[in-house]
Amino acid sequence: MSLTLNDVEKIAKLSRLTLNDTEKAATLDKLNAVFNLVEKMQSVNTDGVEPMSHPHEVALRLRDDVVTESDRAEQYQAVAPDVRQRLYIVPQVIED
């Protein structure tokens, strides 16, 4: 897949970017390079290759799940204008 300057102009408009001619040409080159790389990657035969969660065989060092802080919700919420059932109540800003 190859983009054109017209495509870059459309993308810039949708992104609300203002690009001069030099920037448009540079962006076109960079985007086409990305698409070329994706095409190369898609052409690689991956039959029989299992997905990996990490490129290296490493084990995660996990720590014990221990509570290290006390519950201060009441103290934090004391200054809030409106709290119900430990939830902050805020005015509605989006109309139905």
Residue 14 resides in a domain: yes
- CA 12 → CA 8, 34, 82, distances in Å? 6, 17, 44
Residue 67 resides in a domain: no
| Residues 77 and 83 sit within 8 Å (Cβ to Cβ) | yes
Count of the separate structural domains present in the chain: 1
The pTM of this model reads: 0.51
Residue 76 resides in a domain: no
Residue 85 resides in a domain: no
pLDDT tens digits, one per residue of 41-69: 999 999 998 888 888 888 878 989 999 99
pLDDT score, position 94: 87
Residue 11 resides in a domain: yes
pLDDT score, position 2: 86
Question: For residue 27, how far is the Cα from the chain centroid?
Answer: 21
Domain of 12 in residue numbering reads as 5-42
pLDDT tens digits, one per residue of 76-94: 999 999 999 999 999 888 8
pLDDT tens digits, one per residue of 10-48: 999 999 999 999 999 999 999 999 999 999 999 999 999
